[in-house]
A and B are shown apart, each in its own frame.
Chain A
């Protein structure tokens, strides 16, 4: 049985506290049960996944996923390896199109109410609005400046002043400006792993996306770099909708407002983070978050 957490509830949830501690939406359990199997689109759901099946060629990877992701919140995807977290995340900016044979075989993904797999969707604009940070940092072998400016350049921006301010803004946002402002022309490949990953985040937010997708952004980083990035995510959630895939329960707990648990290509449970960890509704979720998963 697939249970989804109704986004509707988040409308009544208190806005994130200024203190920096993510407060999950106050979800009334009884409402949640009433919401039945599917989540109905709500006014502030920026991403809506409806009855989605996903296939890699002939092999089905996702089964009947229904999900509403609230705007300007941090949503975490958790679940054992191979359960389809990345697959789903990569549907949101259609980067799966790169993989021959990968396709949505049923259902739809809507962003801001528009089905992004329709013919008339401008892929460049979609990806401009849905930024992505990958598991392994992948800066271009160019200068730091050019890395950040790249997104704007490919969208036709070439005015130096605009690029300069954007680079400064994004690097500041990614907490890199003070470290790197003197070596903007240095090759990005010379940065440390943590710096590279933050640079990738700066690069992703340069186009001012509405949504930021992050696929295990901290998996290759040490605890200090990780905490820096978590801080950054927390900062970003003021302006962006962040969807983050993570293997770390603690991380999900620390940064996410809402958490979705996947298992074997199915969405098992989607609820405010507190609820998932303290009061999971499903047996599998409970086993997973307690670390008793086999």
Chain B
């Protein structure tokens, strides 16, 4: 019956046409919703592009500015001076190492007695401080040549006070019990007008002096070597500081001129937009008044070139001197510290000598007018080994020290966090009971809730000391880099970053493992594989793309993290000394993110330093982009066709 009724109804195409009105507008409701969602995605993308645009705009100005600074560096002759500067600073560094080695050696003989003397003298001066109230009247009385009957009561009072002070004082254990008693007795009896020190104190002084001279005698050869080493560069340094002064003056003049040019340009601009004729004339007059006398760099650098013959003479002299001085460096040393320092100097020396030899040729070839290549600013930014700012000499913006810091810290963090997060993910997904899962997952994810500044605080207050005291354990001395010199170092930062990255990596890796179809593990088990075999032969290979992507995203987080590295990495801007091998990670470093956070607040807006920091930001952005790109590639590459 029903079908028949339908057939009877007349055709009506009206209900096939969709209603045109929504909220009184002639639009389709579906379309509005579509637009809404589409515009949300669009806004996000637009904001992203805006950020990229502003970052690029601030950063790109860096290249011409830096290019200009580098060309002035050459024109004004600072470059010329730095050819000499480099060997000199190397020499200074080696000398200070030798001095430290010498100190360590001398200590083997003289330290004990010197410490005893110093401890006794310290105790003496402490007690004297406590009894100044009683000492002063006595001294005045003595000065006034008062008769003994006047001074005697004062002496008694002083002795009483001293005795009281001595009785509360504690002496270090480097004195035996008897010595302590003797020393206390002597200290209690001290008088301000005493001509000589009491016998025990005197003997301590004498012993220490004797030991010191003994030490000096024993290590006379080393002492004279170190002194000779120090003297070698004396003349060079003098000439160097003379030419430095000249170069700096030229640079200052160039800077002044540059500023004047800017000012003039601004005045002229202001003149074109000035409202009244009078104003315009005033601007033009000011502009005309700014003198733009060109700097004749040739004349100004002439004194530098004039010094060349002298330098050419001094350098071979220096080389022979330092070679001679170096002959006196002993083959071996008694203390391990001295041994280490001396061997460092020994390895540095040949390199140093070749630098010195090169330096003559460099100075000869130097030409103030040689154009600075157009790519110089970019290459010296990307590959420059110095990040020097606010320098009275020359600023350099080379990111290599920051980049190596960031990379090493990331490496440490990845090496620690990868095994932990993958193992935790595998365990949680494959082996844990439901109840364990309910505990493990939220707990690990909770780590994300810890503010990074709090972690940094823990790194400073707990982890740094912990690492340092562990590294002092004698049975761990075989670990490279132990004992650790600095509490705040790359390892410490890497450890905390690993901890921070684990939740991200764990969650994503766990998801990846969870996405492996149950059918795979079922098939594997049906073939008689054990749980472990199933996990390692089927589940992990099937989820390897997801796991790798998780690791890469974790890496992105590690590279981008700022607060922890700023607080914990030690912030030393220098390329780490890789001669320590794996122990390099126990050195402090600065990072790309840390430098931005630290310096951006202090620089003046628009300066080359400010722009350089934006360039660092762009570099970071590119690194993140590359990591993301690889994460995508990895996912694509290893993806299996889901059936």
Q: Which residues of A contact B (CB under 8 A)?
A: 93, 95, 98, 100, 123-128, 131-132, 134, 136-142, 150-151, 153-155, 187, 189-190, 193, 196, 200, 203-204, 207
Contacts and interface: CB of A to CB of B under 8 A. Distances in A.
B636 to A, nearest CB: 14
A154 B519 contact: no
A198 to B, nearest CB: 14
Interface string B522-562: 11111111100100011001100000000000000000000
Contact of A123 (B520, B528, B537, B541): B528
Contacts of B519: 134, 136, 138
A174 B524 CA distance: 19
Contacts of A187: 640-641
Contacts of A141: 520, 541-542, 640-641
Contacts of A136: 519, 643
Nearest to B544: A141
Given A127-B527, A207-B528, 4 more contacts: A127-B525, A138-B523, A151-B528, A203-B523
A132 B537 CA distance: 19
Nearest to A129: B528
A95 B524 CA distance: 11
Contacts of A150: 524, 527, 529, 537
Interface of B: 434, 517, 519-520, 522-530, 533, 537-538, 541-542, 640-641, 643
Nearest to B433: A100
B523 A124 contact: no
Contacts of B541: 141-142
Contacts of B520: 138, 140-141
A135 to B, nearest CB: 10
Given A125-B528, A141-B640, A153 B522 contact: no
A131 B520 CA distance: 15
Given A138-B520, A190-B641, A95 B526 contact: yes
Nearest to A196: B643
Given A150-B537, A154-B533, A138 B517 contact: yes
Contacts of A93: 526
Nearest to B434: A100
Contacts of B641: 141, 187, 189-190
B418 to A, nearest CB: 22
A45 to B, nearest CB: 23
14 contacts: A95-B522, A123-B528, A131-B526, A134-B523, A138-B522, A140-B524, A150-B529, A153-B537, A154-B530, A155-B528, A189-B641, A190-B641, A193-B643, A200-B523
Contacts of B537: 150, 153-154
A154 B643 contact: no
B529 A124 contact: yes
A132 B525 CA distance: 10
Nearest to B542: A141
B248 to A, nearest CB: 68
Nearest to B518: A98
Nearest to A136: B519
A207 B527 contact: yes
A140 B542 contact: yes
B166 to A, nearest CB: 79
**Nearest 3 interchain pairs by C-beta:** A141-B640, A138-B519, A127-B528
Contact of A98 (B522, B529, B542, B640): B522
A128 B517 contact: no
Nearest to B638: A141
Contacts of A142: 541
B640 A189 contact: yes
A150 B643 CA distance: 19
Nearest to A130: B526
A124 B519 CA distance: 18
Contact of A204 (B522, B527, B530, B542): B527
Contacts of B517: 138
Contacts of B530: 124, 154
Contacts of B522: 95, 98, 134, 138
A193 B641 CA distance: 12
Given A142-B541, A150-B537, A137 B643 contact: yes
A186 to B, nearest CB: 12
Contacts of A125: 528
Nearest to B533: A154
A203 B522 CA distance: 13
A196 B525 CA distance: 18
B528 A154 contact: yes
Contacts of A207: 527-528
A127 B643 CA distance: 25
Contacts of A132: 526
A290 to B, nearest CB: 31
B4 to A, nearest CB: 29
Nearest to A206: B527
Contacts of A196: 643
Most chain B CB within a 10 A radius of its CB, from A138, A140, A141, A154: A141
B525 A98 contact: yes
B43 to A, nearest CB: 39
A131 B527 contact: yes
A146 B533 CA distance: 14
A100 B519 CA distance: 16
Contacts of B434: 100
Contacts of A140: 520, 523-524, 538, 542
B45 to A, nearest CB: 34
A189 B525 contact: no
B450 to A, nearest CB: 34
A154 B537 CA distance: 9
A140 B519 CA distance: 9
Contacts of A151: 527-528
A51 B541 CA distance: 42
B643 A124 contact: no
Nearest to A100: B434
A98 B522 CA distance: 8
A93 B525 CA distance: 10
Nearest to A95: B526
Contacts of B533: 154
Nearest to A122: B528
Contacts of B640: 141, 187, 189
A150 to B, nearest CB: 6
B546 to A, nearest CB: 12
A124 B534 CA distance: 12
A193 B524 CA distance: 19
Contacts of A155: 528
Given A140-B520, A150-B537, A154-B533, A189 B528 contact: no
Given A153-B537, A187-B640, A95 B527 contact: no
B503 to A, nearest CB: 27
A282 to B, nearest CB: 32
Most chain A CB within a 10 A radius of its CB, from B434, B528, B641, B643: B528
A124 B528 contact: yes
Contacts of A204: 526-527
Contacts of B523: 134, 138-140, 200, 203
Nearest to B643: A189
Nearest to A151: B527
